[in-house]
Amino acid sequence: MTSQTKVYVAVIASFSEDGNLFPRRLRWEDGREYSIEKVLDVRPAAALKAGGQGDRYTVQINGHQSYLFFER
């Protein structure tokens, strides 16, 4: 069983010409960096298990799907 814990990470992102935010890389709390291969989905969402409100990015990192939340 895995535990859902909110972890804040540094994210390198870019903006499209129409103002959309796209995460490109993230730095984990131990200093490891990961490239975000694809942004699969973006939607307004609450982080129900960990708390918070904002946008949920479904991303692919090293072939694995994960969620990245941008809190407002």
Inside any domain, residue 34: yes
Domain that holds residue 20: 10-71
What's the domain count of the chain? 1
Inside any domain, residue 2: no
Cβ atoms within 10 Å of 11's Cβ, excluding its own? 15
Inside any domain, residue 60: yes
Inside any domain, residue 51: yes
* Strand stretches in the chain, DSSP E: 10-15, 21-27, 33-35, 38-46, 53-61, 64-71
The list of the chain residues with pLDDT below 70 reads 1-4, 47-51
Task: Name the token pair of 71.
Answer: 């809190």
Phi and psi, residue 33, nearest 5°: -115, 145
Average pLDDT, the chain: 89
SS3 50: coil
Q: What is residue 5's predicted lDDT score, i.e. its pLDDT?
A: 75
Calpha distance 70→14 (Å, rounded): 14
